[in-house]
Amino acid sequence: TLSEADVIACEDTRISKKLLSLLGISLNKTFLTLHDHNESERLQQIISLITEEGKSVALISDAGSPLISDPGYKLIRECRRHGVAVTTLPGCCALICALQLSGLPTNRFMFAGFIPNKDKPRLDLFTELKNINTTLVLYETAIRLEKTLAVLEKLMPQREIAVIREISKLYEECISGLPGDVRRKFAEKPAKGEIVLVIAPPHADEQEKPDLEKLLTDELSRCTLKEAVKNIAEKYHLKRNDVYEKALELKNNAL
C-alpha cells in the first residue's frame, strides 16, 4: 500500500520518509503533513487529490495505529461524506499490544486515552474510572509516570496494574504488580520511552458505591436538579432514574 500510494499523509514527513527508506520504498511521491493543528485545513486538499486528480492517499502516524489518540477521524468523516472509499490495514496499535502483553483480562476493556498532565484532572479521572468494572487502558509519558502511579497507589492500592513501555522496540518491557510495588521499581530505575498503563478490573469487594446524597447536595448547590442528575449519572455510571429519585427525595426533605 505504501509503495503504490501516490500521496502519503503523515504527522511528520521526516519520520515517514525514514520509515519508507528503511522499507526500500521510493520517496518519489507527494508527502503531506496531517496533524492536530492543520487537519481541518487539509481535508479539502486531500479530498480534491482523490476525487479530482485520481490520486490514492495513504494515512500513517508517527507510531502505533492512525486515529488512536492521533489525528485523522475528521478526514475519514469527510471521505465518507464525499463517497470516497476508505479501508484500514492491520498494523501495530499500542492499545491492543499492551493488552496482549499485560496478562490482565482482555474480554472487556475501556480505552481512556492520554492521562491529564495536571494533578487535579489526573486525580479526578482516576476517581471517575476506579469503579468501572472493566480493564482500563491509558497512555502516559515517562516523565509523568511517577505521579500517576502515586495516584493509583492512593486510590486503588490492591489493584493489579501493568506498565508497558517501548512496545515493539529494542527495550520493550512490561512491569506488573500492585501500584506501590510498580512505583518502587520505577523509583529505582526511572522509565523511558512511550508508555501504556493497563489496570485490572476492580475486585467485587472493592467497588465502592459513591455517596449519592453528598454528591447531589454538592451538585445542586451549583446547578439545576436536571443538570445535577445528568452530571452525576454520567460521571459515576449510575442509572439516571436512581439518581433522580434520590434528588427528588433530597429536594422534598429540604422543603
User: What tens-digit pLDDT sequence spans the chain (255 residues)?
Assistant: 999 999 999 999 999 999 999 999 999 999 999 998 899 889 999 999 999 999 999 999 998 899 998 889 999 999 999 999 999 998 889 999 999 999 999 999 999 999 999 999 999 999 999 989 999 999 999 999 999 999 999 999 999 999 999 999 899 999 999 999 999 999 999 999 999 999 999 987 665 667 788 888 888 888 888 888 888 888 776 778 888 888 888 878 775
List the strands of the sheet with 135-141, edge to edge.
109-114, 135-141, 194-199, 161-165, 173-177
Sign of the C-alpha dihedral computed for residues 13, 9, 74 and 198 taken in this order: negative
The CA–CA distances, whole Å, from 197 to 21, 114, 200, 244 equal 32, 10, 10, 35
For 153-179, give one letter per residue: b (16+ CB within 10 A) or e: beebeebbbbbbbebeeeeebbebebb
pLDDT for the residue numbered 205:
66
List the strands of the sheet with 57-59, edge to edge.
30-33, 7-10, 57-59
CA distance 144 to 216: 33
Please give the grid coordinates belonging to residue 199.
489496570
Would you say 11 and 62 are in contact if contact means Cβ atoms under 8 Å apart? yes
- Which residue, 175, 118, 125, is CA-closest to 152? 125
CA distance 250 to 220: 10
pLDDT for the residue numbered 123:
94
C-alpha of 213 from chain center: 31
CB atoms within 10 A of CB 127: 14
CA distance 176 to 152: 13
Q: What is the pTM of this model?
A: 0.76
pLDDT for the residue numbered 22:
95
Would you say 15 and 62 are in contact if contact means Cβ atoms under 8 Å apart? yes
pLDDT for the residue numbered 203:
85
